[in-house]
Amino acid sequence: MNLAHLLLRQAHMAGDRPAIFSGTAAWATHFQWAQRSAALAGRFRSSGLQPGDRVLLFMRNHPRYLEALWAAWWAGLVAVPVNAKLHPAEVAWIIDNAQARWAFVTSDVAPQPLVQLERQVDIESNEADALFSPMGDFTDSPPWAAGPSDTAWLFYTSGTTGRPKGVMLTHRNLLTMGLTYFVDVASIGLDDAMVYAAPMSHGCGLYAIPHLMAGARHVVPASGGVDPAELFALGKALGPLSTFAAPTIIKRLVDYAESEGLGQAECAASFKTVVYGGAPMYVEDIRRALRVMGPRFVQIYGQGETPMVATALSRRHLLDSSHPRYHERLGSVGVAQTPVEIRVANEMGESLPLGEIGEVLVRGDTVMAGYWRNPEATTQALRNGWLWTGDLGYLDADGFLTLKDRSKDLLISGGSNIYPREVEEVLLTAPGVSEVAVVGAPDADWGEVVVAFVVMKKGMSLTADMLDAHCLEHIARFKRPKRYEFVGELPKNNYGKVLKTVLRERLQ
DSSP code string of 224-248: SS--HHHHHHHHHHHS-EEEEE-HH
In a domain, 84, yes or no: yes
Q: Does 188 have pLDDT greater than 90?
A: yes
Q: Which pLDDT tens digit goes with each residue over 326-349?
A: 999 999 999 999 999 999 999 999
pLDDT the model gives residue 378: 97
Which of 406, 427, 455 is at the close of a domain? 406
Beta strand ranges found along 200-336 (DSSP E): 217-220, 241-245, 271-276, 297-303, 306-313, 335-336
**Do 425 and 371 reside in the same domain of the chain?**
no
What does the alpha-carbon distance between residue 372 and residue 254 come to, in Å, rounded to a whole number?
39
Q: What CATH number is associated with residue 395?
A: 2.30.38.10
What does the alpha-carbon distance between residue 222 and residue 239 come to, in Å, rounded to a whole number?
16
Q: Which pLDDT tens digit goes with each residue over 1-21?
A: 999 999 999 999 999 999 999
Q: Which pLDDT tens digit goes with each residue over 64-76?
A: 999 999 999 999 9
Percent of the chain with pLDDT over 70: 99
CA distances from 252 to 256, 288, 404, 504 (A): 6, 12, 24, 26
In a domain, 422, yes or no: yes
**Do 348 and 473 reside in the same domain of the chain?**
no
**Do 65 and 128 reside in the same domain of the chain?**
yes
**Do 469 and 482 reside in the same domain of the chain?**
yes
What does the alpha-carbon distance between residue 218 and residue 366 come to, in Å, rounded to a whole number?
23
**Do 401 and 381 reside in the same domain of the chain?**
yes
pLDDT the model gives residue 206: 98
Q: Does 496 have pLDDT greater than 80?
A: no
Q: Does 161 have pLDDT greater than 70?
A: no
Coil, strand or helix: which one is 56?
strand
What does the alpha-carbon distance between residue 335 and residue 304 come to, in Å, rounded to a whole number?
19
Q: How many domains does the chain have?
A: 3
Range of the domain at 100: 1-18+28-146
**Do 128 and 57 reside in the same domain of the chain?**
yes
In a domain, 290, yes or no: no
Contact 279, 301 (CB under 8 A): no
Using a cut of 0.95, tell me whether the model's pTM lies above it: no
User: How would residue 159 be classed by pLDDT, with cut points 50, 70 and 90?
Assistant: low
What does the alpha-carbon distance between residue 391 and residue 407 come to, in Å, rounded to a whole number?
6
Q: Which pLDDT tens digit goes with each residue over 46-61?
A: 999 999 999 999 999 9
Q: Which pLDDT tens digit goes with each residue over 219-267?
A: 999 999 999 999 999 999 999 999 999 888 999 999 999 999 999 999 9
**Do 67 and 109 reside in the same domain of the chain?**
yes
In a domain, 314, yes or no: no
Which of 348, 382, 406 is at the close of a domain? 406
Phi, psi of 275 (to 5 degrees): -90, 130
Q: Does 469 have pLDDT greater than 70?
A: yes
Percent of the chain with pLDDT over 90: 84
Q: Which pLDDT tens digit goes with each residue over 401-430?
A: 999 877 778 888 877 778 888 899 899 999
In a domain, 186, yes or no: no
Average pLDDT over residues 117-122: 98
Q: Does 128 have pLDDT greater than 70?
A: yes
CA distances from 505 to 238, 280, 441 (A): 44, 21, 10
In a domain, 490, yes or no: yes
- Pairing between strand 340-345 and 358-364? antiparallel
What does the alpha-carbon distance between residue 10 and residue 161 come to, in Å, rounded to a whole number?
42
In a domain, 252, yes or no: no
Q: What CATH number is associated with residue 68?
A: 3.40.50.980
In a domain, 364, yes or no: yes
- Long-range (24+ apart) CB contacts under 8 A made by 374-377 are 374/165, 374/166, 377/165
**Do 397 and 414 reside in the same domain of the chain?**
no
